[in-house]
Amino acid sequence: MTFVSVAVPVPYLDPLTYNVPGRFPTPPPVGARVRVPLGNRAVTGCVVGAPSSFDGDATPRDLLDIVDEEPFLPPAIVELCAWVAEYYVAGLGDVIGAAMPPGSQRASAYKMQHIVALTDAGISALSPSANTDQQVRLTPRQRSVLETLAAVTAGLPLVALRERGASADVVRRLAARGLVASREEHVERDPFGRTSGMDVTRDGDRSLTGEQQAAVDTLTGILDAGGFRVALLHGVTGSGKTEIYLRLADRVCANGKQVLLMVPEIALTPSVVSLFRSAFGTRVAIQHSGLSDGERHDQWQRIRQGSVDVVVGTRSAVFAPLNNVGLIVVDEEHDTSYKQEEVPRYHGRDVAIVRGQTAGALVVLGSATPSMESYQHALSGKYAHVTLGRRVLDRPLASVRLVNMREEYADAGPDVVISRELAEALQDRLDRREQVLVLLNRRGYATAVFCRQCGDTFECPNCSVSLTVHRAGRGWRGRCHYCDYSMEIPRSCRKCAAPYLEQAGFGTEKVEQQLRDQFPAARISRIDRDSVRRKGALTRLLSTFAAGEIDVLVGTQMIAKGHDFPRVTLVGVISADVGLGLADFRAAERTFQLLTQVAGRAGRGEQLGEAIVQTLYPEHYSIVLACQQDYPAFFEREHAFRRAMRYPPDVAMVSVVVRGRTFDEAMDAAVNIVTALKPAATRARFHLLGPAPAPLGRLRGEHRVQCFLKGTRRAEMRHALKAVLQRMPELRRRVTVDVDPLSML
């Protein structure tokens, strides 16, 4: 008998052993998809190898079918998935699912499109005599479809007809009457048309600055030496890091190898893809969740078939099926978007480093504000450290002014959103026809609603948070940004019926409204998760802004990083300290990074740039040093705090959150886990913190209790925790494990 180990798409489940029946002449290879029985259903899994051990008393069930004779997922990616599953204490099936393209559970998904064409009978039906002789009766919609097809000899995809208002039912009725015919045809969907308006072409004759040339020389030397190495490219905003990526990619592709370029946000892909396509033509592919499932599938297949030299993508692109990687670039490596917040909770940057190690590739981490972990590795010599301290063309960094909002409130009252200094600077830029970015990292109109008479507040019934207020036509809706619960805000209090409901706090919607009221002639738009829900909306807004058709763009952190808008000369930051109050030891680091990044959006063209930062805490070191754009000084100050409190990067952490229907249920389970971990903690010398109520005590209807493992031996902490959870299978689905957590909530 021949047995194979199969990863199936079930959370937290380890690979299962199956027998290969004799009707299959050869066993499926690693990476092939197979159909297997699981309980009373059949699922598609992926072969991950032969079972390491097998209990002879059990009888494995037979494979139902072998979908692929050759590996669908390259064995190297299967190996990478196995590392991710082990390191992040996740099920291998969960990780394999993240690495597979959409539709992989269905072997024929996205391969075909219906092409509909006019038949001879359809042509006759459109002739002037057809209706007068009543030979063929057509509804207006049917005639419209036939007329559309008459103009296209080769026919149209069914989806194109639907976009023109033709329903599938209309087409089906025409086909039944023999007026149209359809055929199955492979049509590769092209996602690159979405970069229109964000087109960036590479200037092949662009000369490098002295710093850029030194950086290219250093990194090229590492490439030519061969083998795995990590380099931190630490360059101030506007210093030309992307041009260095292009030069390195040229070198790698000329040597017959491939390049993976990762960016943190979908919003950054259009301009980067356009730039790389101008350099490498059609041998560039993209991978991110903003594409349709069919587009992602087609792009994934192009990569797998070897038709691609460069892949540009977000976090999940780290699993792209490239077979000869020579260079991996992680741009804005500090960004928290690289960390996945659901199972499997992997960090794209760290997985990229492991992939580079396996492939023997150079991994370049680029940032103006590196993560504490990466910068410490660079200082220690573990990573090569390459710096760019000046902008291209010697353009100066934006000057930064701090506005103490405590003084503003004392002079003008507590409802001030736009300070006088920021308003004056805005008017000046509008008069000069320059562009402005306004950042507030909090969406919605107001942060809470309360009754002034009885004090009742509108809270989410499922989560321990107040409902955020959003405009809804002429009224208001309260919405939870965690579970998406929403309700209409009434005109009077639910408890005491008093008509004294008031809104507290403010978000991007209110900032946008106040700017419209204050500057009625200005063209103002907003970018946040609410304004770009529709597919393609984000790219369209960024394209419009890049074209100079918007004067002021209000947004959350989505506008703060990576974008290059030469017309922007002013950046305004509303409530710079909005993140400092979080119960998270990384709060100061995030604040410094966000302020430094957004200030770097100003002055990237020929005009000088300025940033105006409004804050209640102008003396806080993260804000002061961000305004000075002094990363080394911030690192020293923050590292002293982390070292004293034994936080990363000096130690590693694992977060364990236990969920329960009641608080007592969650707490009892957490106590059992911590108690079971104590012997291992003593042996491996790691610390246990908690259990205690999580800062976000209730989420999506479940109570949450949190504990932490803290120490210098990551592997031993992970192994101890996994062993405990394996002994408590009834708890596993109620426990969230986050290795190297970026959020403490």
Task: Encode pLDDT of 5-21 as tens digits.
Answer: 999 988 888 899 999 99
Q: What is the DSSP string of 673-739?
A: HHHHHHHHHHHHT-EEEEEEEEEEEEETTEEEEEEEEEES-HHHHHHHHHHHHHT-HHHHTTEEEEE
By CB atoms closer than 10 A (0-12, 13-18, 19+), residue 685 is exposed
Q: Are residues 453 and 311 in the same domain?
A: no
Q: Does 53 fall in a domain?
A: yes
Residue 430 belongs to a domain with what CATH number? Answer: 3.40.50.300
Residue 296: what pLDDT?
87
Task: Encode pLDDT of 407-418 as tens digits.
Answer: 999 998 888 999
- Identify any residues that bridge with 450 across adjacent strands, giving them in sequence order: 457, 502
Q: What sign does the CA torsion over 477, 478, 480, 486 have?
A: negative
**Range with the poorest average pLDDT among 69-83, 342-356, 458-472, 595-609:** 595-609
Examine the fold and report which residue of 185, 217, 232 is the final residue of a domain before the chain moves on: 185
By CB atoms closer than 10 A (0-12, 13-18, 19+), residue 197 is middle
Question: Which one-letter DSSP state was computed for residue 554?
Answer: E
Separation of alpha carbons 111 and 113, rounded Å: 7
Question: Which one-letter DSSP state was computed for residue 690?
Answer: E
Q: Are residues 240 and 256 in the same domain?
A: yes
Q: Does 657 fall in a domain?
A: yes
Q: Residue 339 in contact with residue 602, Cβ under 8 Å? A: no
Question: Which one-letter DSSP state was computed for residue 369?
Answer: S
Separation of alpha carbons 740 and 649, rounded Å: 10
**b/e code 242-258 from CB counts within 10 Å (16+ = b):** bbbbbbbbebbbeeebb
Q: What sign does the CA torsion over 432, 435, 437, 443 have?
A: positive
| pLDDT for residue 197 is more than 50 | no
| pLDDT for residue 133 is more than 50 | no
Examine the fold and report which residue of 478, 496, 514 is the final residue of a domain before the chain moves on: 496
| pLDDT for residue 292 is more than 70 | yes
Q: Residue 200 in contact with residue 566, Cβ under 8 Å? A: no
Q: Does 647 fall in a domain?
A: no
The rounded percent of the chain whose pLDDT value lies above 90 is 65
Output 370 or 730, whichever has higher pLDDT: 370
Measured CA to CA in angstroms, residue 508 lies from 439, 482, 516, 740 at distances of 8, 18, 12, 31
Count of domains in the chain?
6
| pLDDT for residue 680 is more than 60 | yes
Q: Is-cis flag, bond preceding 691, omega within 30?
A: yes
Grouping H, G, I as helix, E, B as strand and the rest as coil, residue 687 is strand
Read off the pLDDT of each residue in 464-487 and give the average, rounded to a whole number: 92
Q: Does 104 fall in a domain?
A: no
Q: Are residues 472 and 368 in the same domain?
A: no
Q: Are residues 552 and 574 in the same domain?
A: yes
| Phi, psi torsion values for 17, nearest 5 degrees | -95, 135
Q: Residue 575 in contact with residue 439, Cβ under 8 Å? A: no
Read off the pLDDT of each residue in 221-230 and give the average, rounded to a whole number: 94
Q: Does 321 fall in a domain?
A: yes
**b/e code 434-466 from CB counts within 10 Å (16+ = b):** bbbbbbbbbbbbbbbbbbeeeebebbbebbbbb
Q: Where are the alpha helices (DSSP H) in 560-713?
A: 587-599, 621-628, 631-645, 663-684
Q: Residue 360 in contact with residue 226, Cβ under 8 Å? A: yes
Q: Are residues 249 and 382 in the same domain?
A: yes
Residue 122: what pLDDT?
79
Q: Are residues 490 and 378 in the same domain?
A: no
For residue 52, give both structure tokens: 């390491």
Nearest to 586 by CA among 392, 393, 740, 416: 740
Q: Are residues 259 and 278 in the same domain?
A: yes
**Parent domain of 271:** 192-394
| pLDDT for residue 109 is more than 50 | no
Nearest to 57 by CA among 30, 17, 104: 17
Q: Are residues 128 and 81 in the same domain?
A: no
Q: Are residues 168 and 210 in the same domain?
A: no
Q: Are residues 598 and 548 in the same domain?
A: yes
Nearest to 263 by CA among 351, 329, 202: 329
Examine the fold and report which residue of 620, 641, 662 is the final residue of a domain before the chain moves on: 641
User: Which pairing describes strands 16-20 and 2-7: parallel, antiparallel, or unpaired?
Assistant: antiparallel
The rounded percent of the chain whose pLDDT value lies above 70 is 94
Q: Give the number of other CB atoms < 10 A from CB of residue 133.
A: 9
Residue 328: what pLDDT?
98
Q: Are residues 436 and 541 in the same domain?
A: yes
| pLDDT for residue 201 is more than 80 | no
Q: For the chain, how far is it from start to end, CA to CA, in angstroms?
A: 50
Q: How many helices (H) and strands (E) does the chain have?
A: 23, 30
Confidence of residue 81 (pLDDT cuts 50, 70, 90): very high
Q: Where are the alpha helices (DSSP H) in 112-205?
A: 120-125, 128-132, 140-150, 158-163, 168-176
Question: Which one-letter DSSP state was computed for residue 101?
Answer: P
Separation of alpha carbons 534 and 304, rounded Å: 30
Residue 129: what pLDDT?
62
Q: Does 605 fall in a domain?
A: yes
Q: Does 81 fall in a domain?
A: yes
Nearest to 594 by CA among 367, 396, 288: 367
Output 583 or 335, whichever has higher pLDDT: 335
**How many angstroms from the chain centroid is the CA of residue 335?**
10
Q: Are residues 586 and 618 in the same domain?
A: yes
Q: Does 646 fall in a domain?
A: no
Separation of alpha carbons 384 and 388, rounded Å: 13
Confidence of residue 513 (pLDDT cuts 50, 70, 90): very high
Which of 199-208, 276-285, 468-477, 635-644 is most confident? 635-644
Task: Encode pLDDT of 607-666 as tens digits.
Answer: 889 999 999 999 999 999 999 989 999 999 999 999 999 999 999 999 999 999 999 999
Measured CA to CA in angstroms, residue 436 lies from 225, 419, 518, 601 at distances of 45, 15, 15, 10
Read off the pLDDT of each residue in 275-281 and give the average, rounded to a whole number: 90
Separation of alpha carbons 679 and 668, rounded Å: 19
Read off the pLDDT of each residue in 519-544 and give the average, rounded to a whole number: 88
Predicted structure pTM score: 0.87
Q: Residue 713 in contact with residue 719, Cβ under 8 Å? A: no
Residue 188: what pLDDT?
62
Output 377 or 170, whichever has higher pLDDT: 377
Grouping H, G, I as helix, E, B as strand and the rest as coil, residue 462 is coil
